C-alpha cells in the first residue's frame, strides 16, 4: 500500500510540475459532463522557469496530492479541472470526462507514442509474433494481477538498457493502470531507438472494465492504484487497497 501511495504522490507531482493553471469551470460542465460553450473556462499554460511560477507549482502540487484531474475537450480547447473541492468528483461522477482528459494530457506529454486499443491488442496477442507486453506499475500492483506473459518494468526508474530488444517486426505494448506511467516508459523506449512501441489505451483499468482476462494472485481483480483513481475501475474488478 505504501508503495502505491508513494507512486501516487510522485505522479501528482509530475503533473503539477508540467503545468500552471488558471481555471473557472461552469456549473453545467460538472452537472452534465457534456460539451458546453467554453466562455466560462480559461486555461493558461506557462513555462516552469521563474521563481513565481515555482511557487504556483508548489501550491498546485499540494492541491493535487490525493486529488484528481478532469478534462473537457471542446474543439481545440483543453480545460483542466484541478481543485481540492473536486477531489474524486470528476472521476466518480463524470468518468468519461476523466478518461478524455487523461488521453489528451498523455498525448500532449508524448505526442510521438501511439495508442493501441484493447480490441486491437486482443488481435495482436492471437497471432505470431505475440507482442512484448511491459507492465509499468509497482510490484504490488503487478502481483495483484497483470496481463498474461507481461514483464514488469519499474515505472520510476525504467532501465531500458537492461531490456532485450524484441526481434524485428515484434510489437511492444506498455501498460499501467490508466496510461500515464506507461506513456513515460514507452517514450523512454522510443528515445532509446525502440520501434513499434505502443501505449495501451485506458491501461489495465479499461482492459478489465471491458471484461478481459488478467492473471495474478487476486485475478480477476485489478489493483486500484489509489482510492481516487481506482474509481475509474468498475467495482466488480476492483481489488481492495492494502
Mean pLDDT to the nearest integer, 51-77: 42
Assessment of whether the complete model's pTM goes beyond 0.85:
no
136 in the same domain as 98 = no
Pair (141, 231) in one structural domain: yes
What's the pLDDT score for residue 89?
64
Does the residue 242 lie in any domain?
no
In this prediction, residues 204-229 reach a mean pLDDT of 97
Whole domain around residue 71: which residue ranges? Answer: 2-109
Encode pLDDT of 106-159 as tens digits. Answer: 999 999 999 999 999 999 999 999 999 999 999 999 999 999 999 999 999 988
Mean pLDDT of the chain: 75
Residues 176 and 126 in one domain: yes
131 and 199 within one domain: yes
- Largest alpha-carbon pair distance within the chain? 54
Choose one of 53, 80, 109: the last residue of a domain.
109
Whether residue 175 has pLDDT greater than 90: yes
Indicate whether 125 and 88 sit together in one domain. no
SS3 state at 107 = helix
| Residues 219 and 192: beta-carbon distance below 8 Å | no
- Residues of the chain with pLDDT > 70, as a percent, come to 62
Q: For residue 141, what are the CA distances in angstroms to 177, 208, 242?
A: 9, 14, 10
Element (H, E) at 69: strand 69-74
In a domain, 20, yes or no: yes
What is the tally of structural domains in the chain?
A: 2
Q: Which residue has the higher pLDDT, 158 or 12?
A: 158
Query: What's the pLDDT score for residue 136?
Result: 98
**Residue for cell digits 514488469?**
152
Q: What is the pLDDT of residue 159?
A: 86
Question: Which of 203, 204, 144 is CA-nearest to residue 4?
Answer: 144
pLDDT digits (tens, 9 = 90+) for 79-112: 443 433 344 666 767 778 888 888 999 999 999 9
222: domain CATH number? 3.40.250.10
Amino acid at each position: 500500500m505504501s508503495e502505491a501511495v508513494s507512486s501516487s504522490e510522485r505522479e501528482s507531482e509530475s503533473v503539477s510540475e508540467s503545468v500552471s493553471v488558471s481555471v473557472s469551470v461552469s456549473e453545467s460542465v460538472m452537472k452534465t459532463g457534456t460539451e458546453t460553450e467554453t466562455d466560462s473556462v480559461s486555461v493558461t499554460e506557462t513555462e516552469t522557469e521563474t521563481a513565481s511560477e515555482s511557487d504556483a507549482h508548489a501550491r498546485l502540487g499540494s492541491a493535487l496530492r490525493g486529488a484528481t484531474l478532469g478534462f473537457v475537450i471542446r474543439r481545440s480547447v483543453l480545460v483542466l479541472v484541478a481543485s481540492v473541492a473536486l477531489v474524486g468528483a470528476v472521476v466518480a461522477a463524470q468518468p468519461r470526462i476523466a478518461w478524455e482528459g487523461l488521453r489528451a494530457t498523455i498525448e500532449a506529454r508524448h505526442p510521438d507514442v501511439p495508442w493501441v486499443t484493447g480490441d486491437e491488442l486482443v488481435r495482436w496477442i492471437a497471432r505470431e509474433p505475440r507482442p512484448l507486453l511491459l507492465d509499468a506499475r509497482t510490484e504490488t500492483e503487478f502481483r495483484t494481477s497483470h496481463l498474461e506473459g507481461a514483464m514488469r518494468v519499474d515505472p520510476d526508474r525504467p532501465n531500458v538498457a537492461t531490456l532485450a530488444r524484441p526481434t524485428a517486426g515484434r510489437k511492444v505494448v506498455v501498460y499501467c493502470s490508466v496510461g500515464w506511467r506507461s506513456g513515460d516508459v514507452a517514450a523512454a523506449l522510443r528515445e532509446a531507438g525502440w520501434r513499434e512501441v505502443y501505449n495501451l489505451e485506458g491501461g489495465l483499468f479499461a482492459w478489465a472494465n471491458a471484461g478481459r482476462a488478467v492473471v495474478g494472485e487476486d485475478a480477476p481483480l485489478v489493483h486500484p492504484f489509489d482510492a481516487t483513481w481506482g474509481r475509474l475501475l468498475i467495482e466488480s474488478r476492483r481489488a481492495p487497497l492494502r
